[in-house]
Amino acid sequence: MSSRRLRLVRLSALLKAAPHLAAPYEEAKRVVRAFRKPAFYEVATRCNLFCEGCYYFRDSFSPPVEETDPAAWERFFEAEGARGVTMAYFVGAEPALEQDRLFAASKHFPYGNIGTNGTIRIDPAIPYRIGVSVWGVDEEVDASLRGGRSFHKAIRNYAGDPRAIILYTLTRSNLGDARRLAEICRDNDLPLTFNMYSPTQSYLRKLQEGEGNDRTFFRISSADSNLRWDEDSLSEVRLLMPRLMDEFPETVVYSRAYNAWATQPGPLYDIDPETGIARDCHSRMIGQMRYFKTDMRPGAEKCGTSDAVCSECRMYSGGWSSKFEPRDEDVRDEAALTDWLEMITALGRIFLIERPAEQRLTVAA
């Protein structure tokens, strides 16, 4: 019997023994169904910030020839919708700079997730979840990590917007801002979740080669002072997150089980020793996953954030997508299954919002 089949047998036995978990499990299946056929779409190659260790502007970055015809984008997204894509991730440098493309996409995908730095408000008619990336509350921390002050603009732009969730990228240098951020999000009717900075190949190369600082994406880091995690800082995050969840239960959208997993020392994934690539990360461009560049052609990306170093990756996109299906440890006993269900509940709240009834598209069973 295959390992997957064994997990299903174990899952069935656990649900039979704990019938109170049946309803949460059915809801978990509904959440996961929305991600059944995902795709990543770069919709912008421009950005108005210079984030330290940027995920997008890697070494020798050369943007593709960009399609600028709105009608071509409309046809492209129509074809992707017909292909059955259920969840569209809109990425790139800064998607808010190309909102016509987001409008075109909104006609064809039932669910979408837009990653933005928050400095430009996305039109209220675009009905997708908006992950507003924040790196610091203190103006000096904010400016040093992002190359410009962006935090207060983001809060002003999205306060009370039901599409928005603040995505705080945790680093070793900004943990002290986390509680203050939770207060601000509470007071501005904004849910809050967390990402953990994960170094890119470009960033690690600059550290390892002792490259001097520049005026763009490597302004403040050095071999002795940088954004990489160590056991002490991981332990600090592991203790901090449950405290914030307890203190701000209506604001912080996270999971204790996920936090325990994401802050464990060492690699989170099964790393291929020859390639250095994670074999079990569900953000990989394998199976039904696709990644399209701004020329509308499939990119040869290894994952949704291709320059990230797999052995040090704690990025929320890869982490959460790797929880869609319970693993052996998730069906060990009732407590483990309860933890997995808690993670899927949080995942749904982070990535999904329901469209207005008049704009709702059907998700096939």
pLDDT in tens, 126-174: 999 999 999 999 999 999 999 999 999 999 999 999 999 999 999 998 9
Query: pLDDT tier at 124 (50, 70, 90 boundaries)?
Result: very high
Report the C-alpha gap between 243 and 211 in whole angstroms.
38
Is the separation of the CB atoms in 304 and 253 below 8 Å? Answer: no
Mean pLDDT score of the chain, rounded to an integer? 95
Provide the 3-class DSSP secondary structure of residue 156: helix
Label residue 102 left, alpha or beta by phi (over 0 means left) and psi (-120 to 50 means alpha).
alpha
Name the residue type at position 292.
F
Q: Which among 98, 167, 99, 153 is positioned nearest to 351, based on CA atoms?
A: 167
Alpha helices in 248-305 (DSSP H): 256-262
**Is the dihedral angle over the CA atoms 43, 44, 50, 55 positive or is it negative?**
positive
Report the C-alpha gap between 284 and 286 in whole angstroms.
6
**pLDDT over 70, % of the chain:** 99
Burial of 232 (C-beta count, 10 Å sphere; 0-12/13-18/19+): exposed
Per-residue confidence (pLDDT) for residue 362, from 0 to 100: 66
Domains of the chain, with CATH numbers? 34-324 (3.20.20.70)
pTM of the model: 0.95
* Number of helical H runs and strand E runs in the chain: 12, 7
Per-residue confidence (pLDDT) for residue 363, from 0 to 100: 59
Q: How many CB atoms lie within 10 A of CB 6?
A: 12
Using the structure block, give the residue that is written with the tokens 């951020």: 181
Does position 273 have pLDDT exceeding 90, yes or no?
yes
The pair phi, psi for residue 291, each rounded to 5°, is -130, 120
The tokens describing 57, both together, are 């502007």
Q: How many CB atoms lie within 10 A of CB 140?
A: 9
Provide the 3-class DSSP secondary structure of residue 308: strand
Per-residue confidence (pLDDT) for residue 246, from 0 to 100: 98
Query: pLDDT tier at 364 (50, 70, 90 boundaries)?
Result: low
